C-alpha cells in the first residue's frame, strides 16, 4: 500500500528509482527497525541493504524486500543497482556530504534528484493504525504529566524533574522520550526551548514542561506551564491570552485550511492583546515517526490541512528575562474540524 503510493508518486515525478536512507523513512516504507539500513526501490523491485548484524531481522521485518548484505557503506552496491537508470530520488536533508559524493560517483551518469518532498507528503496523512499508536503515545504523556505534578516543589532541580518524567514515560510503556525534556522554571520559562538544567525551582515561579513519549516508534508532544505557589498577577493575564489563542485556533482548524491560516488565528489573538512580538515561533507542527513533520502551522505554510493529519497547537508568549507561558495539545484533523487528543488539564495550575 505505502509502496504502491510511493511508486505512483515516483511515476508522477519521473523517478524510476529512489534511495531511502533516513531511519524514519526506512521504517515507514519497509518496517525495518535496525540502525543500519538503506532502501533502493524501483518500479518493480525493492531492496534493503544492511550489514551482517541485521540480516535475519531484515528478512523478518521488511516484508517483500530483497535483502542484500553490505558490510561496508552501500554506494558500490547502489551503483550496480542503478545501472541503466536515468535518475534516482534521494533525501538531501539527511544525506551527509560524504555519502552524497559517494553515491554520486557510484551512480555515474545517473542523475540524483531530491525526493524528500515525496516521502514527507506520503507520511502527512496518518492511517488508522498510526493514529491508534499516536493516541496511546499521547495518553502516556498525559499520565506522566499528572504524575509529575506531585514532584514539582521548591528546591527541586529541573534535571530531577526531567529524570522523573523519563521514569514515568517508560513505566507507562514508552520506549523513551521523543526529544530532550524541556523543564524551564522562573526566568528560564522565557526560553522557548529551555532544556532542563541544574537550576532549582523556587516558590512563586512558573515552570514550563514540554516533553513527549516515544511509543512503538511514534512521538507525542505536550506542553503545560504550571506555577509553584502564587505567581505574579501578570502570569494570569499571559495564561489567559495564550489559552484563548490556543482554543481559538483549535476551534477554527478544519480540512481545507492552510497552515498559514491556522497560525493566523492564534497570532491574531496574541497580537490584539499586545504581545505579538513575544510569540516568535510557529503555532505548531505535524508529528509521527519524527517529532517535527510536515505540514507546519506557521506564517509561511501554504500546505492544506487534510483529515488524518496530526498536529500540535502550541502558542506561547515569552518575555525575555522575565518568563513565559506555552500551552500545547496534539490534535487530529477530522472530516469537519479537529479532535483534541491531549487530555491533560489546561486550567491555571498552582501547586502549593
Ligand atoms: Mn511541539
Phi, psi of 220 (to 5 degrees): -115, 175
Cross-sheet strand order for the sheet of 66-69: 66-69, 46-50, 38-42, 17-20, 87-90, 111-114
Where are the chain's structural domains?
Answer: 2-124, 128-351
Q: Say what the pTM is.
A: 0.96
CA of residue 347 to ligand 1 center, whole Å: 19
Residue 196 is predicted with a pLDDT of: 97
The top-level CATH class assigned to 128-351 is alpha beta
Ligand 1 centroid–CA 285 distance in Å is 7
The pLDDT value recorded for residue 297 is: 98
pLDDT tens sequence across 54-73: 999 999 999 999 999 999 89
pLDDT in tens, the chain (352 residues): 999 999 999 999 999 999 999 999 999 999 999 999 999 999 999 999 999 999 999 999 999 999 999 998 999 999 999 999 999 999 999 999 999 999 999 999 999 999 999 999 999 999 999 999 999 999 999 999 999 999 999 999 999 999 999 999 999 999 999 999 999 999 999 999 999 999 999 999 999 999 999 999 999 999 999 999 999 999 999 999 999 999 999 999 999 999 999 999 999 999 999 999 999 999 999 999 999 999 999 999 999 999 999 999 999 999 999 999 999 999 999 999 999 999 999 999 999 8
Distance CA 51, CA 37 (A): 8
For residue 349, the model assigns a pLDDT of 97
According to DSSP H, which parts of the chain are helical?
2-12, 23-30, 55-61, 75-81, 97-107, 116-124, 128-148, 158-171, 233-252, 259-272
Measured CA to CA, the distance from residue 331 to residue 314 in angstroms comes to 11
Compute the distance from residue 322 Cα to the ligand 1 centre, in Å. 22
What is residue 28's predicted lDDT score, i.e. its pLDDT? Answer: 98
Distance 314 CA to ligand 1 centre (A): 7
d(CA 119, CA 287): 14
Q: How far is the CA of 138 from the centre of ligand 1 (A)?
A: 12
Give the Å distance between the CA of 182 and the centre of ligand 1. 11
Distance 53 CA to ligand 1 centre (A): 35
One DSSP character per residue, 179-198 reads: S--EEEEGGGGGSTT-B--S
CB count in 10 Å sphere of residue 96: 9
Q: Cα(129) to centroid of ligand 1, in Å?
A: 22
| The C-alpha cell that represents 2 in the structure block | 505505502
Q: How far is the CA of 32 from the centre of ligand 1 (A)?
A: 26
Q: What spacing in Å lies between the alpha carbon of 94 and ligand 1's midpoint?
A: 21
2-124 folds as Creatine Amidinohydrolase; Chain A, domain 1 (3.40.350)
Read off the C-alpha cell for 332: 487530529
Name which of 209, 202, 221 is nearest 153 in CA terms: 202
Beta strands 46-50 and 66-69: pairing type?
parallel
**Residue 305 carries which DSSP code?**
P
The pLDDT score that the predictor gives to residue 279 is 98
**How buried is residue 108: exposed, middle or buried, by Cβ count under 10 Å (0-12/13-18/19+)?**
exposed
Tell how far the Cα of 282 is from the centroid of ligand 1, in angstroms.
Answer: 10
Q: How many Å lie between the centroid of ligand 1 and the Cα of residue 174? A: 18
Give me ligand 1 centre to Cα 313, in Å: 8
Distance (angstroms) between ligand 1 centre and the Cα of 113 equals 30
- Reading across the β-sheet that carries 222-228, which strands appear in turn? 182-185, 206-211, 222-228, 350-351
CA separation (Å) from 70 to 25, 37, 75, 108, 167? Answer: 19, 10, 10, 20, 38
Amino acid at each position: 500500500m505505502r509502496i504502491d503510493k510511493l511508486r505512483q508518486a515516483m511515476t508522477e515525478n519521473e523517478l524510476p528509482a529512489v534511495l531511502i536512507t533516513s531511519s524514519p523513512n526506512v521504517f515507514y516504507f519497509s518496517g525495518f527497525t535496525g540502525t543500519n539500513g538503506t532502501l533502493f526501490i524501483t518500479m518493480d523491485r525493492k531492496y534493503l541493504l544492511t550489514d551482517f548484524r541485521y540480516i535475519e531481522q531484515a528478512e523478518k521485518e521488511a516484508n517483500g524486500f530483497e535483502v542484500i548484505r553490505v558490510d561496508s557503506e552501500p554506494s558500490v552496491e547502489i551503483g550496480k543497482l542503478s545501472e541503466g537508470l536515468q535518475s534516482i530520488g534521494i533525501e538531501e536533508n539527511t544525506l551527509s556530504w560524504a555519502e552524497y559524493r559517494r553515491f554520486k560517483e557510484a551512480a555515474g551518469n545517473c542523475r540524483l534528484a531530491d525526493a524528500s518532498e515525496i516521502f514527507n507528503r506520503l507520511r502527512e496523512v496518518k492511517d488508522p493504525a498510526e493514529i491508534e499508536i499516536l493516541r496511546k503515545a499521547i495518553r502516556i504523556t498525559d499520565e506522566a504529566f499528572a504524575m509529575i505534578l506531585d514532584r514539582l516543589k521548591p528546591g527541586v532541580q529541573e534535571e530531577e524533574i526531567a529524570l522523573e518524567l523519563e521514569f514515568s514515560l517508560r513505566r507507562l510503556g514508552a520506549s523513551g522520550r521523543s526529544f530532550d525534556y524541556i523543564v524551564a522554571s522562573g526566568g528560564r520559562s522565557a526560553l522557548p526551548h529551555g532544556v532542563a538544567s541544574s537550576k532549582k525551582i523556587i516558590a512563586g515561579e512558573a515552570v514550563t514542561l514540554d516533553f513527549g513519549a516515544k511509543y512503538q516508534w511514534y512521538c507525542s508532544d505536550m506542553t503545560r506551564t504550571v506555577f509553584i505557589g502564587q505567581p505574579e498577577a501578570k502570569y494570569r493575564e499571559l495564561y489567559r491570552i495564550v489559552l484563548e489563542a490556543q482554543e481559538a485556533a483549535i476551534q477554527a482548524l478544519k480540512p481545507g485550511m492552510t497552515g498559514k491560516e491556522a497560525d493566523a488565528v492564534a497570532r491574531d489573538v496574541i497580537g490584539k492583546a499586545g504581545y505579538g512580538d513575544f510569540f516568535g515561533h510557529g503555532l505548531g507542527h505535524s508529528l509521527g515517526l519524527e517529532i517535527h513533520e510536515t505540514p507546519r502551522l506557521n506564517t509561511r505554510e501554504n500546505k492544506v490541512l487534510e483529515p488524518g493529519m496530526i498536529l500540535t497547537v502550541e502558542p506561547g508568549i515569552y518575555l525575555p528575562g522575565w518568563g513565559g507561558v506555552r500551552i500545547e495539545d496534539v490534535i487530529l484533523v477530522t472530516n469537519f474540524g479537529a479532535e483534541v487528543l491531549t487530555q491533560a488539564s489546561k486550567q491555571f495550575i498552582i501547586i502549593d
